[in-house]
Amino acid sequence: MNSQHPSPLDPVVIAQLGNLQLRARRILDGLYSGHHENPIHGNSQDFSEHRAYHPGDDLKGIDWKAFGRTDRLVIKKYEEETNMASMILLDDSASMGCSWGGRLSKLDYAKTLAAALGYLLISQRDGVGLLSRGTVLQANSSRSHLDPFFASLESVQPQGIWNVSALADSVGPLSRKRSMLIVISDLMADSEKTVSTLLALHARKHEVIVLNVFDPAERDLPFSGPIVFEDVETGETLQSDPDVIRAAYQRLVQEKLATLAHVFRSAGLDYHFLTTDTPFDKGLGAYLSWRSARL
């Protein structure tokens, strides 16, 4: 990437926009101006009903036969669109507040990605809700839902330890039918319990997409000289020399990530690893690829 002309979806560029709604709109504009095909409308085989055409809708979705009969522009809706609501499970633990080198924190990156996903889902007339420790927002597909959705995201702050099993108990009552669960987390808190919880949600017939977010420094350990590391969730400290342990540390991280990817994917969950310097189209592309493969 040319450093003088960064991608419009680069987190450094997006971070200059103050609020999540502006960030979401910029990301979606950049996604489609980059000629990414919208795979959602018009690909399902199970036709459900019509809805009125709205400016900006993909013209490929227009039912021209219905236009010939009624002189009204309408879009075909498909069964998959009407049956699948989405819940974003957002990790708001203290570790998500970490950043290094002037990048967005993991939580800011996750919130921005969640904002863009929510904006995309509602633009496609799909419902989206939000679950974090202090936020329980039911899925809704109306345009008016965007304001409380963005406000809820803005209010999320990093603290404590993420308890995904407690969030999982909320999924059933909030969702009367099969849902798509988009999990955005660094997966650092009790990863074994987190994995088993997400596998259990998938076993309950929910579709699960896991977006595993790291700061690049957590993967690469770029520090030099003796340093004291502190676990922001437990307060435990450890003094070490990164130059001495870097190679072993990087190997352990790669082994953990490979294990997570294998466990999730072999069970049928969709797993993607992202760092906070990853352009936002990759995270959105994970969702779009998943959706396209199922329509």
Provide mean pLDDT across the span 168-173: 71
Residue type (1 letter), 207: E
pLDDT at 6: 65
What are the C-alpha distances in Å from 281 to residues 18, 33, 66? 19, 11, 35
What are the C-alpha distances in Å from 19 to residues 150, 154, 155, 175? 9, 8, 11, 29
Q: How far apart are CA 92 and CA 100, in angstroms?
A: 18
What integer best gives the mean pLDDT of the chain? 83
Q: Is the pLDDT of residue 282 over 80?
A: yes
Where residue 84 falls among pLDDT bands split at 50, 70, 90? low
Residue 226: CB atoms within 10 Å = 11
Contact indicator for 268, 17 with CB cutoff of 8 Å: no
Residue type (1 letter), 258: A
Q: Is the pLDDT of residue 176 over 70?
A: no
Where residue 39 falls among pLDDT bands split at 50, 70, 90? very low
Q: Is the pLDDT of residue 38 over 50?
A: no
Provide mean pLDDT across the span 121-142: 89
pLDDT at 22: 93
Instruction: Report pLDDT digits (tens) over 47-71.
Output: 445 667 766 666 667 777 776 677 6
What are the C-alpha distances in Å from 188 to residues 26, 30, 281? 30, 31, 24
Highest mean pLDDT among 31-45, 102-116, 221-235 belongs to 102-116
CA 14-288-200 angle, to 5 degrees, is 105
Q: How far apart are CA 117 and CA 283, in angstroms?
A: 9
Provide mean pLDDT across the span 25-36: 75
Query: Domain ranges in the chain?
Result: 11-36+84-293, 47-79
Instruction: Report pLDDT digits (tens) over 215-236.
Output: 999 999 998 888 888 787 777 8
Handedness of CA 67, 69, 70, 76 (dihedral sign): negative
Paired strand residues for 89: 131, 183
Instruction: Report pLDDT digits (tens) over 11-23.
Output: 989 999 889 999 9
Q: How far apart are CA 115 and CA 57, in angstroms?
A: 20
Q: Is the pLDDT of residue 122 over 80?
A: yes
Q: Which residue has the higher pLDDT, 55 or 211?
A: 211
pLDDT at 260: 95
pLDDT at 123: 87
Query: CATH topology for 11-36+84-293?
Result: Rossmann fold (3.40.50)
Residue 53: CB atoms within 10 Å = 16
Provide mean pLDDT across the span 75-86: 60
